[in-house]
Structure 1
Amino acid sequence: MGNTPSSHKISAQDRAILDMKNQRDKLHQYQKRITVITDRERAVAKECLARGDKPKALLALRRRKFQESLLAKTDAQLETLEQLTANVEFSLVQKDVVFGLGQGTKVLKQIQGEMGGLDNVEKLMGENEEARLFQREVSEMLAGQMSRDDEEEVDEELEKMERAIKTPEVQRDRLEEVDDATGVEEELPQVPEQEPVYAAELKNKARARARAREQKAAQAFEPMAA
């Protein structure tokens, strides 16, 4: 009586769908965690550029781009698998779905290893032997792993960073060149120690008018006094 255990067996399709959901959940967790790391990698790139170390800045940006592309590709792959499972007879795509899930698991492990932690990010700009070894490993790992479009985007971002850092210096240098060429030194306005000329003139005119009124009044008073 009632449902037997055999009636609750999980089918291959159910298992595949469950695996895809689990992978998608892990992927979303990684996306949240890796944001902190990729933000720091971009900051490291700026710091390296500011001190004139362009190779390390490029390495930090390439690693950042690679991590972001891994997440994006895995997300797109999972979406494709979900659509196949939902819209196509599962028996026809089962082999592709199983293979895709296997690849997805490998990529998720790669993403987890790539994330490492903020300590690894700091090694991208380190100068000691351990840091140099890590930088070499990252460079070798990235070789051939990134698409041409990703590489071009990284180069463009690096150029933007360089312009942002150099522009204030260029403007300052041009202003100094102009000053040197003209020989004019900019001086701040000084507070006058004496009254402006026009103020003194107004006071003198006012005194003259007052004296004229006094003289006129005196002349008018003299005949009466006589």
Structure 2
Amino acid sequence: MGNIFGKKKQTRVTEQDKAVLQLKQQRDKLRQYQKKINIQLSKERVLAKQLLKDGKKEKALLLLKKKRYQDKLLDKTETQISNLERLVQDLEFAQIEKKVIDGLKVGNECLKKMHEAMSIEEVERIMDETQDAIEYQRQIDDMLAGSLSQEDEDAVLAELDAITQGDLDLPEIPADELPDVPEQKPERERSRKKAERELLAV
């Protein structure tokens, strides 16, 4: 049976990764060497004091000369560590720059393919068709909104002139008089008249 979880993705280790790792290992070894020398110098300082107390000045002087030499070695070691750290930083930054450049390269290739798939002429054609479609839709909207064309306006003016000059056949006015409708007084007025009659009757 195969692995149900699938194969574990393996990360490809580049030459730059190996170089960075080696530099960091060398830096760590130098730091360990520094630590060892510092411990040794502390012991030798204590030993030099003891030799002076015991009256062994020559041995104490020799020990201090050795200590001085080791101090210089420590200074050189510190310089080497600084150089290694700077080199590691430069390599790591170079790797980042390479990834950025690779990303830009892929992006440029994609853009180039997209530009090849759509020429300037094609874009202009699409824009023209879009503008025509917008204009056509606007005309439909105008018609649906009840706006009149110039031809419609001319027809309306012609109809107005015909009415003014009496050329249109209008329906005849009826000859019969309208029947009289008795005027109805408002309810308020009737109530007031009734109250006046009742006062007069008293």
TM-score with structure 1 setting the length: 0.31
TM-score with structure 2 setting the length: 0.35
Answer 1 or 2: which has greater helix percent.
Answer: 1
